Amino acid sequence: MTTQFPKNFWWGAATSGPQSEGSFNKIHKNVFDYWYEIEPEAFYDRVGPAVTSNFYNSYKEDIALMKDIGLNSFRTSIQWSRLIKDFETAEVDEDGAEFYNNVINECLKNNITPVITLHHFDLPIELYSKYGGWESKHVTDLFAKYAVKCFELFSDRVKYWTTFNEPIVVVEGQYLYQFHYPKLVDGRKAVQVLYNINLASAKAIKAFREGNFNKVSQIGIVLNLTPSYPRSNSERDIKAAETADLFFNRSFLDTAIKGEFPDKLVKLLSDEGILWKGSLEEAEIIKNNTIDFLGVNFYQPRRIKAKETPVDLTKGWMPDKYFDNYDMPGRRMNPYRGWEIYPKALYDIAINIKNNYGNIPWYVSENGMGVQDEERFKNSEGRIEDDYRIDFIKEHLEWLHKGIEEGSNCFGYHLWTPIDCWSWLNAYKNRYGYIALDLETQKKTVKKSGCWIKETSKKNGF
Ligand code: BG6
């Protein structure tokens, strides 16, 4: 045995409501349900969110499978568009509440710690059409109301809550780079949304504390940290990487943990004349309502060089004004997803949290490798032999372990995802799970990596 993890380490996996449940019995639509309705051809093979992995109907069998492969924790999200009947009053839909109650109870019955996220990109479409979604401060209040309902209904059993999953992706996808509906390019709105989501998260945390739910549970946020590595040690490259880091990482990380936006970010946006509209009272809410623990999603690093190509600013300000992405020659790629594989980044993240963020308790809330056409790796017994995934996970865990040895306060590792699930635009193109899903039959079969994690979880290491 060479690599042993701390006692009670979380060996788990993560999914989200909209990517696994299917829209059975859902009373409202979220932005993705709506987008699929109006533009199904945008989704890989035209597979939409209606059935996904059928978790709404098969949660019992699915959780049993998770138990079978040794998982001791599981993150999913509540769909605002399933739980809440009336967004203004946060009146609860009985069927929605019963479903999430069942899921939570089933986890506990199987000794699996449920970790529940309140928002995983799935804004109810009604709140977008009425108010412009996260552009609106009113929506931040509605979010807090919805959050309170979740705490009231489930906090007796849910001990770990997270407000948002990857909030910067909402900013990037909806307002800058056009990969989430409504695919706008609007830097000013992007900046306001970035601020408003920070505020919404802090308001939910405030309500959590005021309702004394912190006596029984903890609350955090899940951020996709993409360490920015400069092309070279030149001053210009380093500055460009720092600026990218300000936008894509620190704009949520600093507020979540320190309760403040980085001064440099505020100055830069003020100089550009596009700083968000906020009040002193809101700054207080953000300041006083920081997280108890952090979830870190890590898939790929960000390689940055000083600006070389002019950015198209005809549509207004874009963060890309200050840096270019750098295609580092020879970097190791996952060709299916087009993402760089760089496991050492997990160590860098661990040390950054330790040195610069008060060594707050944190865990890897997502990491994983999406691979296309995995059936070609099936052996004669029908098991997918995904050795590439095992190697990928091991390498990441080795670097994580080094960070823990050096004192970083990491308490778990969740793979994306337990059972192959649906994804934004890519639908079922890339498979990530420990467990394979046959889309035709909904049959679920443990992959070789699922057998591996069972052993690893049992030994608390490898
Ligand atoms: C994370 C998200 O960014 O990455 C998940 O939290 C997503 O929702 C996962 O599915 C994998 O990315 P993708 O785009 O390949 O599905």
Reading phi first (left if > 0) and then psi (alpha if -120 to 50, else beta), residue 422 is in: beta
Name the active-site residue from 21, 166, 282, 374: 166
Q: Give yes or no for residue 18 having a pLDDT over 70.
A: yes
Structurally, how many domains does the chain consist of? Answer: 1
Whole-number Å distance between alpha carbons of 389 and 457: 16
370 Cβ inside 6 Å of ligand 1: yes
Reply yes or no on whether 166 is catalytic.
yes
C-alpha distances out from residue 46 to 20, 55, 362, 431, 443, Å: 17, 20, 37, 16, 21
Residue 200 lies in a domain: yes
Which of 122, 166, 416 maximizes ligand 1 atoms within 8 Å of its Cβ, making it the mutation to test the pocket?
416
Q: What is the CATH number of the domain that holds 294?
A: 3.20.20.80
Instruction: Judge if the beta carbon of residue 149 lies within 6 A of ligand 1.
Output: no
Indicate which atom in ligand 1 lies nearest the CA of residue 368: 11
Give me the pLDDT at residue 313, please.
Answer: 82
Q: What percent of the chain stands above pLDDT 90?
A: 98
The verdict on residue 430 lying in a domain is: yes
Q: Which of 226, 242, 196, 251 is nearest to 366 (CA)?
A: 226
Ligand 1 atom 9: the closest Cα is on which residue? 416
Counting Cα atoms < 13 Å in the Cβ hemisphere of 107 gives: 22
Average pLDDT of 142-170? Answer: 98
Q: Mapped to the 3 state alphabet, what secondary structure does 13-75 carry?
A: EECCHHHHCCCCCCCCCEHHHHHHHHCHHHCHHHCCCCCCCCHHHHHHHHHHHHHHCCCCEEE
> Does residue 430's CB lie within 6 angstroms of at least one atom of ligand 1?
yes
* pLDDT confidence of residue 1: 57
255 domain residue, yes or no: yes
Q: Residue 315: its pLDDT value, please? A: 81
Residue 246 located in a structural domain:
yes
Active site residue 366: yes
212 CA from centroid of ligand 1 (Å)? 33
> Over the chain, what is the mean pLDDT?
98
Q: From atom 7 of ligand 1, which residue's Cα is the shortest distance away?
A: 423
Residue ranges making up the domain that contains 166 = 10-459
Mean pLDDT of 68-95: 98
Residue 308 to residue 294: CA distance in whole angstroms: 35
Mean pLDDT of the region 49-72: 98
The per-residue pLDDT for range 21-34, each reduced to its tens digit, is: 999 999 999 999 99
Q: Answer whether 166 contacts ligand 1 (Cβ < 6 A).
A: yes
The pLDDT of residue 87: 98
- Please check the confidence at residue 185 and state whether its pLDDT lies above 80: yes
Rounded-to-integer distance, Cα 248 and Cα 167, Å: 10
pLDDT the model gives residue 255: 98
Q: Nearest 5°: phi and psi at 237?
A: -65, -40
| Residue 361 near residue 353, CB atoms below 8 Å | no
pLDDT classification of 456: cutoffs 50, 70, 90: very high
Angle in degrees, CA 300, 302, 307, rounded to 5: 160
| Cα-only R_g, the chain | 21
Evaluate whether residue 4 is within a structural domain: no
Is ligand 1 within 6 A of the CB of residue 426?
yes
pLDDT in tens, 190-219: 999 999 999 999 999 999 999 999 999 999
